[in-house]
Chain A
Amino acid sequence: MHAPFPCIAGRILAAAAGVAIGWTQAARASEPVDAPDGWENVAQVQFLDARRAFEARLQADPADHDARIGLAVALLNVQPRQSANIERALALLEEVRSDGRGEQVIEATYLLARIHQLHRDPADPYKAVELFDELLAAHPDHPLAQMGFVEAAMLRLYVLDEASPAATFATLEQRAAHLSDPTARRDFHLTMAAAASRLRLGDAAALRHLRAADAVGLAKRNTAGNLYIRAATRARALGQVDLAEAYERRFLAEFPRDFRAYTIRQRLGAPATQPAEATP
């Protein structure tokens, strides 16, 4: 004989669950529907929502190349990652390149190069560099083309092995003379400074590029703090004590509570509790 408890309790449970689900659905239905711009979704890393928004825009206006670019960048990051999405993004950007004009073509070319560089599996760094070079040749003053030069520089330094690291480094320094966009110039110098240290191309080269990046101006506090210490370390290694101390004082003035301040104070021989003043 079965006890009545499970059966009755089950019915009560089911009834309660039904009421709860009904309540929840009613509440959801009464909520306002959010209809954000596709680009805002991309900025907020909401790629699935962005994809829907751009698909809708393209359906409404098939000539909307901005939506085509938006859909492509959303597809690059919709999870789970699928090669079909990457290939579709590539095709969308090729459409913009062949049919669009001005800024849109520049952007599509840059993104195509990035797909070959990073998103496609396997990546094709040679194709990426070819597209970056093509973009720079066509639009030497455009910020995105100049940023493409920085991306290509990374590939040349770390991936392609076209020449010895020292020769590649020297060539890149020569070619970078044209960089006019501050962001691209800053990131080029930061890239070169890191490569000089990692590829053992000398403290002087690293310091030169760190100072150049500093002169352009850094966007992030953390980068600035790291740069001051890196420049001071390289300057000390080269015997440029005055320069090293200037960077160390700047660090202490701007980052007195950083966990590395104690070490810097030790280097400077500064009092332990009072940050030293920075030199102008």
Chain B
Amino acid sequence: MKAATLLNLFGVVLTAGAFAASIVTVATRTAREAAPEQITIRMCHWQLEAGMRDAFDAVAKEYSRLHPNVRIEQIAVPGRVYGSYTRTRLAGRNVPDLVEVGDQTDELLTRHFLPLTRYVEQPNPYNAGTDLEGVPWRDTFIDGLGHAPGLESLQEYYAIPNSIVTVRVYYNKPLYRAIMGHDRPPETYEAFLDVCRRAQRHLGTDGRPIQPLAGSRFNANILLDALFRSQTQKLAREIDELGQLRTPAHPALAFLNERVSFDHPAIRDGLQLMREVGIMMPAGFLQLDREDAFYFAQQRALMIVTGSWDYRSIADQSPFEIGLFPIPLPSPDDPTYGRHVLGPVAEGGRGLGINFCVSNDSKHPEVAINFLRFLTSRRGHELFVGISKWLPVVLGVEPAEETLAFRPIPEGYTDGFHIAPIMWGSGEMYRVQSNHLHRLLTPDGSVETFVSLMRAELPAAVHADTLRLIKSYNENVRRSDSTLTALRRRDGDGKLSAGWETQNAQEADLYWLRRRLAQAGG
């Protein structure tokens, strides 16, 4: 009894102590912010990968050295709760000054963040003394911010990017040498498959067989998806009705075309490829999450396919030399899978990542924007890239030596389409594929089994997803009716004309999609 009382007292003291500490923390922060000369800029993001927080800290420290009255604080939030974190903060109008955004609606951008157009059209002052001096901030990025969030529909820039990601096969070099007798990476799909098969026959130091490919659903989403898409490259070109060399924006648009079906050899071969490589992955990988894929670091798997974002984390955890090579997709010369392939896929020009927006509620928006300028200046970005080992997006900044292999492949064709992503998808096509994927990717499954299941359920899913697209186009067009009416009253900068151009293109797409759906029996 006495022990229980003491335990309770201890709990009370601990709770009181915690509250006292938090009050001191809040009071200190409040006092710091109350000082008129002291400015704190907070930035929230979900980049918990090794090196990323250090990189932001280093740039922040350098910025504070130049501006001693400014302090930059980062709030790193795990990806799986980031959405709810930002939604709550935005709703409470208690959001950090700088917010990393991913997929976001136009309404969210306009409601909560500042348009940055007038800033990106001015030179970045921190580029003074470099060859980027006098160049508009926008044009100092490798894609000229041509894919900036919201640009297409809102005609405004809302976010500043900080990196680009590419995907590579990571391999354990010593183990690879032991299996293959050399460490030259495979250059063709056939050679890659040969490496996988030889790895399967190799025993590790513990006597257990080596897994050719480590990974989870997350890694399959990258590797198997790329393999399938390689087979629909030519088909995507065939159904590109406007002739603009673009892949359908949503797979439902592809499957709405009468030429695309499970009888098409390209679709069959894509599924066969997914199966061929999928069975090289660990048993039950579809049930594993991103964080569960330790096989590679534990030297129980020869390779893992992931992006440049994981480089620091994997390199830190792996006590062996790592090699990198691009996914060896089938080439047009491949005797089995080459007939549907155009060629290598260009990795540039797909949009940049780690995009930060400036909150409407920021007390110091000019300072927050100024920090973004420094972060993406030649000097600031070199510092960021040097520590994070992520790929640069500012012209003239070179990748870190050890990540040169991630440099985007600039030359190549457009990609094909898929049925649905393997992870992080949405909609009915994604749900139906997810339900049946194990019938394709497990040793006792088959392409035929998967196709027979998909054939029964996919048409309804395509219909449902197309209706969703129509609804979304409809919303955009309806919204533009209002915004264009407002722009008619203040135009002078060409936004009205661009707004009409966007609205009319979307509206034509909307009517065409409705017509196609009706023709398809919807």
Is the pair A40, B486 in contact by a Cβ cutoff of 8 Å?
A: yes
| CB-defined contacts of B94 to chain A, threshold 8 Å | 24
Question: What 0/1 pattern do residues 142 to 155 of B give for CB contact below 8 A with A?
Answer: 11101000001011
- Which of A45, A73, A76, A107 is packed against the most chain B CB atoms within 10 Å? A45
- Which of A40, A119, A191, A222 is packed against the most chain B CB atoms within 10 Å? A222
CA distance A69 to B413 in the complex (A): 48
CA distance A198 to B348 in the complex (A): 29
Which of A44, A118, A263, A272 makes the CB contact (< 8 A) with B481? A118
CA distance A257 to B479 in the complex (A): 32
Is the pair B244, A226 in contact by a Cβ cutoff of 8 Å?
A: yes
Q: Which of B337-351 contact A (CB under 8 A)?
A: 346, 348-350
| CB-defined contacts of A226 to chain B, threshold 8 Å | 242, 244, 246
Which of A8, A73, A258 makes the CB contact (< 8 A) with B486? A73
| CB-defined contacts of A197 to chain B, threshold 8 Å | 241-243
Closest Cβ–Cβ distance, residue B38 to chain A (whole Å):
17
A136 part of interface (Cβ distance < 8 Å): no
- Which of B154, B474, B504 is packed against the most chain A CB atoms within 10 Å? B504
CA distance A233 to B238 in the complex (A): 12
* Nearest B residue to A47, CB-CB: B482
B335 part of interface (Cβ distance < 8 Å): no
A229 part of interface (Cβ distance < 8 Å): yes
Is the pair A259, B4 in contact by a Cβ cutoff of 8 Å?
A: no
Is the pair A42, B482 in contact by a Cβ cutoff of 8 Å?
A: yes
Q: Which of B275-328 contact A (CB under 8 A)?
A: none
Is the pair A8, B481 in contact by a Cβ cutoff of 8 Å?
A: no
**Provided the pairs A118-B477, A158-B511 are in contact, do residues A187 and B243 lie with their beta carbons within 8 angstroms?**
no
Closest Cβ–Cβ distance, residue A189 to chain B (whole Å):
11
* Nearest B residue to A45, CB-CB: B110
| CB-defined contacts of B490 to chain A, threshold 8 Å | 39, 43
**Provided the pairs A42-B486, A262-B346 are in contact, do residues A3 and B478 lie with their beta carbons within 8 angstroms?**
no
| CB-defined contacts of B180 to chain A, threshold 8 Å | none
B507 part of interface (Cβ distance < 8 Å): yes
Is the pair B349, A73 in contact by a Cβ cutoff of 8 Å?
A: no
Among the listed stretches A56-64, A149-157, A171-179, which one makes contact with chain B, having 4 or more residues with CB under 8 Å of it?
A149-157
- Which of B22, B479, B512 is packed against the most chain A CB atoms within 10 Å? B512
Is the pair B19, A233 in contact by a Cβ cutoff of 8 Å?
A: no
**Provided the pairs A9-B11, A257-B348, A259-B346 are in contact, do residues A219 and B498 lie with their beta carbons within 8 angstroms?**
yes
CA distance A74 to B107 in the complex (A): 14
| CB-defined contacts of A24 to chain B, threshold 8 Å | 94
Is the pair B19, A183 in contact by a Cβ cutoff of 8 Å?
A: no
**Provided the pairs A46-B111, A257-B349, A262-B411 are in contact, do residues A73 and B502 lie with their beta carbons within 8 angstroms?**
no
Which of A16, A43, A157, A194 makes the CB contact (< 8 A) with B242? A194
* Nearest A residue to B142, CB-CB: A257
Is the pair B348, A259 in contact by a Cβ cutoff of 8 Å?
A: yes
Sorting the interface of chain A by its residue count into under 10, 10 to 19, 20 to 34 or 35 or more gives: 35 or more
Is the pair A43, B481 in contact by a Cβ cutoff of 8 Å?
A: no
A230 part of interface (Cβ distance < 8 Å): yes
**Provided the pairs A45-B479, A226-B244, A262-B346 are in contact, do residues A218 and B486 lie with their beta carbons within 8 angstroms?**
no
Is the pair B413, A263 in contact by a Cβ cutoff of 8 Å?
A: yes
Question: What 0/1 pattern do residues 254 to 266 of A give for CB contact below 8 A with B?
Answer: 0001111011000
B489 part of interface (Cβ distance < 8 Å): yes
| CB-defined contacts of A12 to chain B, threshold 8 Å | 15-16, 19
Is the pair B485, A111 in contact by a Cβ cutoff of 8 Å?
A: yes
A147 part of interface (Cβ distance < 8 Å): yes
Is the pair A230, B243 in contact by a Cβ cutoff of 8 Å?
A: yes
CA distance A258 to B500 in the complex (A): 24
Which of A43, A220, A259 makes the CB contact (< 8 A) with B487? A43
Is the pair A258, B478 in contact by a Cβ cutoff of 8 Å?
A: no
B497 part of interface (Cβ distance < 8 Å): yes
**Provided the pairs A73-B486, A259-B414 are in contact, do residues A4 and B12 lie with their beta carbons within 8 angstroms?**
yes
Is the pair B8, A220 in contact by a Cβ cutoff of 8 Å?
A: no
A195 part of interface (Cβ distance < 8 Å): yes
Question: What 0/1 pattern do residues 440 to 483 of B give for CB contact below 8 A with A?
Answer: 00000000000000000000000000000000001001110111
B514 part of interface (Cβ distance < 8 Å): yes
CA distance A223 to B246 in the complex (A): 13
Which of A5, A155, A229 makes the CB contact (< 8 A) with B511? A155
B106 part of interface (Cβ distance < 8 Å): yes
Is the pair A4, B8 in contact by a Cβ cutoff of 8 Å?
A: yes
Interface size on B, residues (CB 8 A): 64
A67 part of interface (Cβ distance < 8 Å): no
A209 part of interface (Cβ distance < 8 Å): no
Is the pair B511, A77 in contact by a Cβ cutoff of 8 Å?
A: no
A221 part of interface (Cβ distance < 8 Å): yes
B501 part of interface (Cβ distance < 8 Å): yes
Question: What 0/1 pattern do residues 131 to 163 of B give for CB contact below 8 A with A?
Answer: 000000000001110100000101100000000
| CB-defined contacts of A118 to chain B, threshold 8 Å | 474, 477-478, 481
Which of A158, A183, A198 makes the CB contact (< 8 A) with B497? A183
Is the pair A150, B110 in contact by a Cβ cutoff of 8 Å?
A: no
B505 part of interface (Cβ distance < 8 Å): yes
A159 part of interface (Cβ distance < 8 Å): yes
B31 part of interface (Cβ distance < 8 Å): no
Question: What 0/1 pattern do residues 50 to 83 of A give for CB contact below 8 A with B?
Answer: 0000000000000000000110011011000000
A116 part of interface (Cβ distance < 8 Å): no
**Provided the pairs A73-B482, A223-B505, A263-B245 are in contact, do residues A257 and B144 lie with their beta carbons within 8 angstroms?**
yes
Is the pair A233, B414 in contact by a Cβ cutoff of 8 Å?
A: no
Which of B142, B242, B486, B511 makes the CB contact (< 8 A) with A154? B511
* Nearest A residue to B409, CB-CB: A262
- Which of B154, B483, B485, B502 is packed against the most chain A CB atoms within 10 Å? B485
Q: Could you name 26 residue pairs across A and B whose Cβ atoms are closer than 8 Å?
A: A5-B8, A40-B486, A45-B107, A45-B483, A46-B111, A73-B482, A76-B478, A76-B481, A77-B479, A77-B482, A118-B474, A150-B504, A151-B504, A154-B511, A158-B515, A187-B504, A191-B504, A194-B242, A223-B501, A234-B243, A257-B144, A257-B410, A259-B346, A259-B349, A259-B350, A260-B246
Sort A-B residue pairs by CB-CB distance and give the 8 closest, nearest first: A233-B243, A259-B349, A158-B511, A42-B486, A219-B498, A43-B486, A45-B110, A73-B482
